Every structure is written in C-alpha cells, then in structure tokens.
Structure 1
Amino acid sequence: MPSLDHQHSQENPQREKSGDMSLVERLVGWFKTNGGELSPDVDIAFDASSGYHCRAVRNLTSPVVAKCPLSLTVSHLNLDHTQSLVPHVESPLAKCMGRIPNNVLVYLLLVEQRLHTDPSCLKWQPYIDCLPEPSLMMTPLWFDKEDMQCLAGTNLARETSVKLDKLSEEWNQAKEVMESLDIDITIFSFEWFRWAATIISSRAFISTHIIPGQETFPILFPVVDILNHSPTAKVEWDFHPFEDFTLKILSHDEVRPGDEVYNNYAPKQNDELLLGYGFCIPDNPVEQFAIKMRLPPQIEQAARSMKMFEPSNIPFGMDTSFVTAELNEEPEYLRPKGHPFGRYENRLPFFRAIPPRIVHTFFIQALTNLNLNPADNQPDSIPPRVIFETLLLTYEAIDKRSQTLRLSLNRSSPFSNNKQKYAIIYRDGQAKILHAIRDELKAVFNTLRIHDGVPQRPVIISTTEALARLTAEFPSYAAHFKAGLEGQYGVDVSNWSRYSADIAVLEAGEQPAELSVWNLLLCLFLVLYQKDNSGTTREYDGFRQAIFGWVEYLLSQTPLPTNVTDMDAEALQDFVLGLTGSEAEAERAYTWADEVVDKFAFPLVEEVQGEEVQRIYMYLQIGSDDGGVNGWMYQDHEA
C-alpha cells in the first residue's frame, strides 16, 4: 500500500537521495525475475512530493497495472516450514512459531530482513531497500510531544496511547520468548519493532482472499503496495486464491502519460488513515465521529429485566438490530447531514445523527431520571417529556464532548511538519462533525424557547421569561418578588437583558443562584394557583391561565409531598407576598418547588449581551403528556 515517505521526504533529504534509479531498477528487475508482472505502460518513480509511486509513461493499454505472485509475498508463513504455500526463509525466528502471535512474527521478520548482514538470508532485499526509514514514519506512533498536542481532545489521542502500550507489551513478550529460545536479539529494538508494525499497518493486505480457509493474517505484496491512495480511483483487486493478486485500474483509458496511477484502499475515515498510513484527506466525505457508551451495569441489568431490550420495546421507530448484535469494543459513529452512508432510521429527525444504541441508552437513562415505569410508555407514543429528557441527555453528552474539542481558530503560523498538518486536518474534521450535530440538537431547544406571547405548546424558559410573565399577569406580586431579588442578590430587574446577564453569573452557595430563584418562583406560582378558586375548569387561552396550566402539569408530574423540608417560612415573605396559612403549608410548597427544580431544571448556554452564559431552564407544558401540541418532536429543526 502507500509509501509513507511520500508525505515527509522534504524533511529528510538523505532519503530522497537514496531514491535513485538503481534502487528502482533493482526492485523492478527482482520483481519481474521472480514472477511478478508490471505493466509496460507504467514505471516506478520517486520524487520529493510522492515518494516511491507508480506513474504512467504512456496511455494505458490494459487495466492491469501489477501482478504479484503469492511466492513473493511476506508474512509469518515464510517462517513456517510445515507449509508449502510460500517459500521458506532460513531464520532462528522459525523456532517462535506458535509461541509468538503471527502478526508479531512478521514484524520481527521484517526487522531481521532490514538489519541482517548475511546476504544469503535476505529474500526480499530490493523490496526492503525501498521501504521508508523510521525517521520518515508519519503515523501518530511516531509523534513527539508537540505533534501530539495537535491531537488533543480527539479520540485518536487516546487510541494512539493504547496502541503504543499494546506494541510495547507485544515487544516485551516477544523478547522474552526469543531469549528463552537463545535467539540473538542484538539487532532488535523497540524502535525497529515499531517501524515494522507501521510498515504492516500502512502496506499490508489481509490474507482472506489470497489464502481462503485460514485464520486471517497480514500479508505484504511487493510493488503492488507502492501505489498511493486516492479515494476517487476506480480499481479492482483481483485475487486468484493460492496464486497471485492483480491490481487493475478500471478507468485506465482516462490515465494520461505522466499521471500518477493510484490505488484505492476503500472508503476510510481520517483516524484510520492517519493511524494506519500517516496521512489524511481534507474534507473526507466519509468522516464520522466515533463514540462509545454503555449504561451502568445496574441500570442495564434492570432495563433488561423490564424487557427494554426487546425489539418490540425499542422506541422512535429505530432499527432494532443493535439489540441482538454482539456488544464489543468497536465504536459507533455520529453522522453529519449528507453523509454517503446515510443517517440512522428514526421518526424524530434530531436523533438521526445518533446511532440507535446510543439513543436507546439515553432513553433508558431518561426513564430512570424521571422515575417512570417503562411499561407505562408505549414505544409508538412516547410522551414529550420523556422525549425531551432523552434529547437533553444526548445534547449534554455531546456538548460536554465538544468542550474538549473546540472548533479551531484560523492559524497564523505554518505547521512545523506534516505530522502536525495531517493531525490538524483530522482534528478539525472531527470537531466540525461534533459541533454540527451539537448545533442540530441546540436548534430544537431554540424552537422550544419562548420570549413573549401565550405558549400553545411545550416550552423551555429561563427565570427571565418566567418573571416577565409574572409581571404581565400579577404586577403587584411581581414587584414584591423583584424587590426581594434585588435585596437578596443585588440584581437589577428593571431591564431583562441586564438581569439575564447578572443572574447567569451569580452563585448561591455551591450552585447557580438561578436555581434558587426558580425554587422561589415555583413556590409563588403554586401559592397563586392555590389562592385562585381552585377546582374550577380553566380554559388556557391567556397568559394567567398558562401559568396555572404549567402548575397543574408540574403537579401531575410531581405531586405535593407528604414529608416537608424544615425551612424558615418567614423568609418566603420576602418573595411571596400574601402567603397565608400554616408554616407546614409553606414548608410543603417550598419542598414541592425544590423537587420540581431538581427534576425539571437544566443548564443551557445562551447568548446574553454578546456573551455566552449558562442559564437554568425549565421544561413546561400545558395539559396532559399526550404527544405535545404541534408535534414539535417530529419537525426537522434547522441548525
């Protein structure tokens, strides 16, 4: 597959010097002499920008570019003297068969072939001589501290660390085995072991098609692997089992003299390209954002016992195949709009970017948070409150992740090297996907926001909107309440924009002050509701009725408590004018409001006076949880 040096040769002039025609001629001569075929219409070239690569010298008269026989391949099979599929190589490493994993054996074989001084032991020297040196490796396994900073916040940063740890473990185990077999390990080192692992990851094919019926292992096809990658190249990999591998260019009639001839490694995301091959594709069309998530074991066990993983109980019309699929460590992917693989099936448009297993995980968490019995929620008619809680949990997780992977600012200085260049291409592509999906979810919240008028659907509001409505309907109570806020928190309530900016940054104890304001507001709403000729039927066609409708909805979700919080009822008089009755009633109202805030309040970032601040919002609706007015959850909200 690709020559890694083609991305980095300008940084090591000596490597470019070694790419003279004698090396290429030796490689091609060795290849053809041993049964390989190379189209007469192409040659192997070397330059600073592309490294070793394949280039057309005339119009291609055939789709066949190169054919490599199985006898020229490199794999652990060359050490296995019990087989006759490929030629054997004389090496003490043969004693390690069965004691060292096959992929590790081929790493060691490559190192031996690269560093061995006995010509009689070197079977692939012309090929090995054209492989890039360790100094030219471009994958994150070779990043220094400064290079790794360009991957900060990405999944690949951790994945690189995990892969290095695994390589180190494989190397140490291999050393122990070789030493136990009295194999001289003088020529081996972790750096060369890492080099060989990088060569395999960037150039090897899998054995499945050339040697079917055996456990899959990596296998190198000399010369065929020199072609660089293009995601638009139209190629065919023609494997003849136990014989050879032919690379064909399906659009060969479009290739002109001087054009580079490319392979196509199939659609690959930039994390795979960077970690395996050492380069990235700007604006990679198949880019996705990897995500892993599982429920806490206790919650998952409880959910399974309640049959929430039965296909018939999966909500939102999602694909149910994940419930029977084997759960492994492989990630699932967030997909942006217009992705060539398509998005995920879901009746709710804002969840189509999210894998069904992840949505289902948040759905279960939502039911747990709301203390709801799954049996009371039919998959085809999930209440808006549950949908909103699922949306909120999804948004919070993605928003939190986006804080560690912010969108990049325009760079004023050039990259120090190509490693950083490709790392930033990958990082920025990941950030764009993550923030685009975050913005899609945020657009739903913006749809539910209400600033004025009478709400006829579920809404989310901050204390700013709640106070505005209180002012419009109950001016005397609102004036007393605002005076209490000014005295307690020193905020200016004469201007809503100024109040919003002030309350967003205030704290009460170890929590946002706006949580306490919500507690007091809801307490007042309840008092007003109870004072107003309760028991009569109300038509919710005005602002005052909307507040009472919210209270009735909240009471249906959180009934008045039997046990109350011990608090200073007289303190409520600073905010709730006209509170009458016993101290126990006051405590009961305050306790209820506290429970409601704990269940329904959530933080959300909004822009106030040109600055992004975190506000505390509440989800409120009028009437029963019967699907929601206007079906907000089924609308496609634009970011």
Structure 2
Amino acid sequence: MHASHRWQFWKSLTKLGTLHRSRQDSVKSGTPIMPSVDHIRAQESTQDRDSGDVSPVERLVHWFKTNGGELSPDVDIAFSESSGYHCRAKRRLGSAVVAKCPLSLTLSYLNLDHAQSIVPHVESPLVECVGQVPNHVLTYLLLVEQRRHPNQDRMKWYPYIACLPEPGSMTTPLWFDNEDLKCLTGTNLARETSVKLDQLTKEWNQANNVLERVGVNAETYSFEWFRWAATIISSRAFISTHVIPGKDTFPILFPVVDILNHSPIAKVEWDFHPLQDFAIRILNHDSIRPGDELYNNYAPKQNDELLLGYGFCVSDNPVEQFAIKMRLDPRIEQAARSLNMFEPNNIPFEMDTSFLSSDSKEEPEYLRPKGHPFGRYVNRVPFFRGIPPSVMHMFYIRALMNLNVNPASVKVDSIPPRIVFETLLLAHEAIQKRSESLPLSPEQRHTFPNVKLKYATIYREGQAKIIHGIRAELKAVIAALRFYDGVPQHPVIVSTTEALARLSAEFPSHYSHFKSGLEQQYGVDLTSCTQYSADISSLEAGEQPAELSVWKMLLCLCLVLYQKNESGTTQAHNGPQQVVYGWMEYLISEHPPPTRTADMDAEMLQDFILGWKENEEMVERAYTWADEVVNRLAFPLDEEVAGEDVQRICMYLEIGVGDDAAGEWMYRDAEKV
C-alpha cells in the first residue's frame, strides 16, 4: 500500500469507528501562546537537517520529536515500494500509544491566520488571501508553497513534506490518463471524477484571481501542484472538529500520525485533546510482534471513496455498495404528493419510512448485495431488500400510474400481486438498463500495465458484481413465474406461444380456425412451438411487435368464448377449460369490458374467429377490451429461443379471482417462487 493510500478522509471522521475524546476540559480563558516559527526553527539541528548522511526518515523523526511530537521507542518508520512510509514494531510494544502529534506541528490554513493564537503563525504572502478563498483551498496553497519554495529546506514542515509522495506517484482518478479513465466507464466514479476535476479547476482559477489581485506570483501554484495538494489533503488529513472545537470544520494535517496505513481489522483508538494534541493508540498492542506493521483503522469504506480519495481499492471489499440515483419526474412526484403517497401510512411493503424526512437529492442511496455487513433494507418482499426504500417507493408510484390504479383504493398492508409484479418489472428494467453500461468481465485479470489501472479494475469489477447480482435476483423471480408447458397451478408469465397451447388443449376447434388465420396473416408455422416463437418475435405489425396484435386477437377470442359459455365462472373452475376461463376471469377483474361498442372494422377478425360472425357486435366489443388490456398489461421480456436472444411480449396471469395463494410468490425467496 503506497504512502498516499490512507484512510484519513477528513469529510468522514464523524462517521468513523471507535473515537475517544479526552476527559480533560478545554482551556477556559484564552489559549496558550504557541511557540513562534523562529523559536521552533532554533530548536532544530541544522547539522541533522542539512547533512546528506541523514535519511528522510531520520530527519522526520528528529524534527517531530524535537518539536514536541511523541513516537513510541518500540516503533520504526520504514519505507517500501509496496507500502510507502509506514510504521513497524521494533519489538513488543510497551505502550498503546504509537504516535502523538501536538497541535503546534499541524498544517492548515489556520497557520496563515495571524488573528488567532491556536497554532503558530507562518510568514507568507498567502496571508493576504485569508478570507478571500475557501479555507480548504488556502490549505492547498500553503502546502504547495511549502513544497515548492526555493528554500524548501528552510520551510517549517520540510522534514514532513519531504516524505510525502510526489505527483508522479499519485493514483487517484484525478491523475488517470485517458486509457485509465476508460476502465471507469459505466461506473459512478466516472462522473464523480469529472465533477471533482471541474470543481478543482474552478477553485484553482478563483485562487489564481485572488493571488493576482494581492500581488502573489501565481506561477508556483500550477494546477498540477494544486491537484497534488488536494490529493494529499484528501488522503491524509483529519477534520478539525475534535481538536479545535468551536470553529467551522476544516481539514488539518497531523504529521507522523498520518503515516500509519489502513487495515479494516486493526483495533485502534483516536485520542483527541482539544487545543493540545492528537494521539493514536493500538488497543491490542500486547499482541503485536516484532516486525509487524502497525495499522490505523478508519472504519469501513467503499472502493469509490477509497479510490477517489486515497488512490487504492480493496479486493472483494465486504462493505462495497452500488450508488444509485433514480428520481421521479417532478410532475409525477407532485401528483403523488397531492394523493398523499408520501405519507408514512401510505408507504408500501412495510418499508422503513425514514427516507421521507431526508433530502433524497443529497443523501447517497445504495444497492446492497446479499450478506452485506450493514444488512439489507427492511422490506416485506424479499427480492426488493437490496434496493433502497426511496427507490422502491418510486417504482411503486410508477407501477400504480402504469396500471391506472387509484392509490386510495390500495391497502398498503395487502397490495395486490399485479401491482407488486408491475413494481418488479419496473425495478428490473431500470437495473437491467443500468447494468448494460457495466458488463461483467469474462475473466479476472492478474497483470496490469500500471497500478492505477489495477485499482480501477478492482473497483469496476466490484461494482459490476453488485448491480448484476441485484439484477439476477429480480430476474430469478420473473424466471420462476415464467410458464412453458402443462397446466399452471399458480400465477404465471406466458407469451402467445403458451397461451395458444392452452387454447389448443381446451378449445381445439377454435384453435384450428385461429391457427389458420394466423398462418395466413403472418406466414408463421404453428406446428412447432420453437419455430413459431422465433418467427413471431421477429415480426412487426405496423410500428409494433406482431405479438402484440396476436395477443389482442387471442384475448378477443377468449373473451367471446368466456361470455358465450352459459355456465360462466362455474365451468372456469370445474370444467376442462379451467385455465383459459380462469385467466379470463382474472383479466376481467383487473379490467372490466367496456360498456359501449367501439367503431372498428371487424372483418380483420373473421378469419381468426370463424363461427362467430353472427356476433360481430360482440366481437367488436371484445376486441376493444382486448386492445386496452394488452396495451395496459402486456410487457416485453428477453429470453433465448433456438439459441438466439429475442424479445417476447408476455402477460402476467392468475387463475381466477379470490385465490388466497395467488400472492404467495411475492414473499418467497426467488429460488422458491
């Protein structure tokens, strides 16, 4: 792990793990006068600082200890290509404290603010910029000045800055070239990187305008070095809240303390003494053996944060999630709010309603795979638990809109299966579309031309694994409901292939007429289900799939058959036509036939419905109904037919109404549906 690969991300300290605050009270009246820069420099050994025989580590440790820092005598600072500068145990640790940095050695914009006495002042032309640029930008400028000053070795933090990584070794996406960035295509980090670069560019331009206005030579502060400073701060800085209370939060560097690399299993404690110092403790220090590297632990972080802030990723990161942003059209949202769909008592699936009080435009939302250590989301429907409640609520609203269902007519504690299924379709469609831009890699790579591409690939593959896993969960439910052969005993998804098979089994004579007309109209071969499926999926009728028209004509015939049957629903459950009549009973309950006859040409149906010509008025009415049902309830579904991926037009059908078991599939795991 490179020296720049740290978990000190100043924006998230308040969310981190074990945090210890000293019981010692803050200074009550005034603050102690900190030693001046000249006084600190006087304490430094010029011989040690300038000697070519002194290593950067020796110089850093000498400077740190001379100026009030504490480093355990049982610890060495070492360097390696894989880990950068890091801490190792020379022997068993005699104390839990590894390092303690006084506030006087910290680096931040505050050093340029001569109106304060919390930290030592730095004499610099940048003092003129205080209050004219954001504080974090001023910290970037100070860091660049200290690094690029002609007399750098006489700068206050020279021993510390000399051990910081150079621009050429940076591995965050801010330093990716075009080839490296291609690996981020389809990920959320591709956009986040662009946004971050735009933000930095804007801050740099604004800073340059201020520098020019106050008469500071801006050549020192090139964008490359400005970007370098921003990367150092994002990868090493803490936030000021706990050590300098009472001031707005800003990033602050604690030399030496920030050298420890990260381990998610390290047991550490952060010990802040307000207005004094910050120490890091190893809680299980008695188990450390000589030669062991000592780690910090800044709590679980996802790979997008690690890569953008620190320049590295964790393979198979257990806390990895997939950030997702899906919003309702403002007009739809406004209409939904007017119907009280954003009231807690109208939230479906027994979901957590806390999202109603959060700003969905600001708070990140994540897809979570099975077994995630944070747990999945509360949802009565198992296959929705990987999707955030706010997003599921959006799909639910759109499902009601698609089905033209009045929300007031739905009891959220017993949502009809058809609404749940429509919600499932919408969720699957959205996840499927999102996953298409992030395909799974066919095989895992083991060699990379550079470390940036390595980490980008780890991040990308982790993201792809999550979204494709969520997609597979939803798809498994749909696949489990897909029906191909036999007599269905529960709700199913069928295409016209299976519907025609049931018509053939239950109404052979009418099927024969329908088959003849279908073959004449489209030239399809119904002697083979596979051949018909392949043929009909490739045909169009006007600007729509031909299978849509087949569904309309088929449902028209089935409605006529159902309504001509004198025994009606009784035969639907007990006679040989139980499946077709049961399906019709269900569809009629979902969408009652219209009461008026539509004006249309019925001749197009005559070849398909031979024997019913004497009932043309009924045919017209039936076709009007069938047209509305198909337009409302039919949906496309991708599947493989004869070795080719095709799109079928399908229907979700239940066997009759009032079936208590009709919704059981909603509450089972996908593999049990």
TM (norm. structure 1) is 0.93
Deviation, structure 1 residue 457: 2.7
Matched, 1:127 2:181: no
Matched, 1:451 2:521: no
Question: Counterpart of 1:53 in 2: which secondary structure?
Answer: strand
| Pair 1:609–1:483, CA change in 2 (3 A) | same
| Pair 1:566–1:102, CA change in 2 (3 A) | farther
Candidates 375, 382, 387, aligned match of 1:349: 382
Question: 1:5 and 1:286 mapped to 2: Cα distance?
Answer: 18
User: Residue in 1 aligned with 2:462?
Assistant: 429
1:361-390 residue CA offsets vs partner (Å, 9 max, x unmatched): 111111111111111111111111111111
Q: Could you tell me whether the CA contact under 8 Å between 1:458 and 1:628 is conserved in 2?
A: no
Question: 1:133 and 1:563 mapped to 2: Cα distance?
Answer: 79
User: Residue in 2 aligned with 1:22?
Assistant: 55
Deviation, structure 1 residue 565: 6.2
Q: Could you tell me whether the CA contact under 8 Å between 2:556 and 2:622 is conserved in 1?
A: yes
Deviation, structure 1 residue 474: 1.5
Deviation, structure 1 residue 22: 1.0
Question: Counterpart of 2:637 in 1: which secondary structure?
Answer: strand
Matched, 1:465 2:481: no
Matched, 1:632 2:665: yes
Q: Could you tell me whether the CA contact under 8 Å between 1:383 and 1:627 is conserved in 2?
A: no
Deviation, structure 1 residue 633: 0.8
Deviation, structure 1 residue 169: 1.1
Question: Counterpart of 1:638 in 2: which secondary structure?
Answer: helix
Between 1:195-204 and 1:111-120, the stretch displaced more is 111-120
Deviation, structure 1 residue 87: 0.8
User: Residue in 1 aligned with 2:371?
Assistant: 338
Question: 1:562 and 1:97 mapped to 2: Cα distance?
Answer: 77
Q: Could you tell me whether the CA contact under 8 Å between 2:572 and 2:582 is conserved in 1?
A: no
Candidates 429, 436, 445, aligned match of 1:396: 429
Q: Could you tell me whether the CA contact under 8 Å between 1:469 and 1:543 is conserved in 2?
A: no
Deviation, structure 1 residue 2: 6.5
Candidates 130, 150, 154, aligned match of 1:117: 150
Question: Counterpart of 1:514 in 2: which secondary structure?
Answer: helix
Deviation, structure 1 residue 467: 1.2
User: Residue in 1 aligned with 2:587?
Assistant: 554
| Pair 1:171–1:64, CA change in 2 (3 A) | same
Deviation, structure 1 residue 214: 2.0
Q: Could you tell me whether the CA contact under 8 Å between 1:5 and 1:132 is conserved in 2?
A: no
Q: Could you tell me whether the CA contact under 8 Å between 2:324 and 2:366 is conserved in 1?
A: yes
Deviation, structure 1 residue 564: 6.5
| Pair 1:102–1:622, CA change in 2 (3 A) | same
Deviation, structure 1 residue 342: 0.6
Q: Which residue identity is paired with 1:95? A: E
Candidates 205, 214, 219, aligned match of 2:247: 214
Q: Could you tell me whether the CA contact under 8 Å between 2:98 and 2:282 is conserved in 1?
A: yes
Deviation, structure 1 residue 630: 5.6
**Percent identical:** 70
| Pair 1:320–1:73, CA change in 2 (3 A) | same
Deviation, structure 1 residue 552: 2.5
Question: 1:257 and 1:320 mapped to 2: Cα distance?
Answer: 51
Matched, 1:4 2:37: no
Question: 1:633 and 1:394 mapped to 2: Cα distance?
Answer: 14
TM (norm. structure 2) is 0.89
Question: Counterpart of 1:518 in 2: which secondary structure?
Answer: helix
Question: 2:394 and 2:660 mapped to 1: Cα distance?
Answer: 21
1:165-210 residue CA offsets vs partner (Å, 9 max, x unmatched): 1111111111112222222112111111111111111111111111
Q: Which residue identity is paired with 1:339? A: H
User: Residue in 2 aligned with 1:277?
Assistant: 310
Residues 246-265 of structure 1 mapped to structure 2, 5 A cutoff? 246-265=279-298
Question: Counterpart of 1:32 in 2: which secondary structure?
Answer: helix
Question: 1:395 and 1:527 mapped to 2: Cα distance?
Answer: 34
Q: Could you tell me whether the CA contact under 8 Å between 1:344 and 1:353 is conserved in 2?
A: yes
Question: 1:476 and 1:498 mapped to 2: Cα distance?
Answer: 22
Question: 2:659 and 2:249 mapped to 1: Cα distance?
Answer: 54
Between 1:525-534 and 1:318-327, the stretch displaced more is 525-534
Q: Could you tell me whether the CA contact under 8 Å between 1:291 and 1:332 is conserved in 2?
A: yes
| Pair 1:20–1:527, CA change in 2 (3 A) | farther
Deviation, structure 1 residue 561: 3.5
Candidates 632, 637, 640, aligned match of 1:604: 637
User: Residue in 2 aligned with 1:9?
Assistant: none
| Pair 1:115–1:457, CA change in 2 (3 A) | same
Q: Could you tell me whether the CA contact under 8 Å between 2:417 and 2:662 is conserved in 1?
A: no
Candidates 186, 195, 214, aligned match of 1:162: 195
Deviation, structure 1 residue 459: 1.7
Q: Which residue identity is paired with 2:246? A: G
| Pair 1:378–1:610, CA change in 2 (3 A) | same
User: Residue in 2 aligned with 1:385?
Assistant: 418
Question: 2:84 and 2:73 mapped to 1: Cα distance?
Answer: 21
Candidates 514, 530, 544, aligned match of 1:497: 530
| Pair 1:633–1:179, CA change in 2 (3 A) | same
Number of corresponding residues? 627
Between 1:380-389 and 1:176-185, the stretch displaced more is 176-185
Candidates 516, 519, 537, aligned match of 2:570: 537
Question: Counterpart of 1:4 in 2: which secondary structure?
Answer: coil
| Pair 1:245–1:565, CA change in 2 (3 A) | farther
Q: Could you tell me whether the CA contact under 8 Å between 1:454 and 1:543 is conserved in 2?
A: no
Matched, 1:100 2:95: no
User: Residue in 1 aligned with 2:353?
Assistant: 320
1:386-424 residue CA offsets vs partner (Å, 9 max, x unmatched): 111111111111111111111111157832211111111
Deviation, structure 1 residue 480: 2.8
RMSD after superposition: 2.3
User: Residue in 2 aligned with 1:588?
Assistant: 621
Question: 2:456 and 2:205 mapped to 1: Cα distance?
Answer: 29
| Pair 1:110–1:557, CA change in 2 (3 A) | same
Residues 294-313 of structure 1 mapped to structure 2, 5 A cutoff? 294-313=327-346
Between 1:407-416 and 1:362-371, the stretch displaced more is 407-416
Question: 1:220 and 1:429 mapped to 2: Cα distance?
Answer: 31
Question: Counterpart of 2:577 in 1: which secondary structure?
Answer: helix
Q: Which residue identity is paired with 1:538? A: Q
Question: 2:352 and 2:423 mapped to 1: Cα distance?
Answer: 17
Question: Counterpart of 1:286 in 2: which secondary structure?
Answer: coil
Which ranges of structure 1 fall in alignment gaps of 5 or more residues? Answer: 7-18
Deviation, structure 1 residue 588: 3.1
Q: Could you tell me whether the CA contact under 8 Å between 1:385 and 1:625 is conserved in 2?
A: no
User: Residue in 2 aligned with 1:204?
Assistant: 237
Question: 1:265 and 1:626 mapped to 2: Cα distance?
Answer: 53
Q: Which residue identity is paired with 2:346? A: N
Candidates 306, 315, 322, aligned match of 1:289: 322
Q: Could you tell me whether the CA contact under 8 Å between 1:2 and 1:225 is conserved in 2?
A: no
| Pair 1:412–1:81, CA change in 2 (3 A) | closer
| Pair 1:284–1:323, CA change in 2 (3 A) | same
| Pair 1:630–1:172, CA change in 2 (3 A) | closer
Matched, 1:82 2:105: no
Deviation, structure 1 residue 454: 3.0
1:527-554 residue CA offsets vs partner (Å, 9 max, x unmatched): 2223322656335245622212222222
Candidates 81, 84, 100, aligned match of 1:67: 100
Question: 2:413 and 2:261 mapped to 1: Cα distance?
Answer: 50
